[in-house]
Copies of this chain bind each other. A is one copy, B any other.
Amino acid sequence: ENANHLQAQRDSLTQTLQETETRNRVLEVQLTEVEHQLETSHLEQEAFRKNLKTLLEILDGKIFELTELRDNLAKLIECS
């Protein structure tokens, strides 16, 4: 009788353990996926920032060139 009881406990534990391990694997897969999404998001953001920095440098150049144009116009007005 005691042996029957212990066997039932063991079987129940075995089943619960299997379910818990299955849940574990599902969680691990989900975690890997979300971590991958986060890394991709960070890489995309980094690439985005890099492209924006390039545009910022081009904008700097354009402002510099407009300032040169402004100075040439000012000189022209002064000398006329």
Contacts and interface: CB of A to CB of B under 8 A. Distances in A.
Nearest to A21: B20
A69 B55 CA distance: 7
A78 to B, nearest CB: 9
Indicate the size class of the contact surface on chain A.
Answer: 35 or more
Contact of A70 (B7, B41, B59): B59
Interface in A1-29: 2-3, 6-7, 9-10, 13-14, 16-17, 20-21, 23-24, 27-28
Interface of A: 2-3, 6-7, 9-10, 13-14, 16-17, 20-21, 23-24, 27-28, 30-31, 34-35, 37-38, 41-42, 44-45, 48-49, 51-53, 55-56, 58-60, 62-63, 65-67, 69-70, 72-74, 76-77, 80
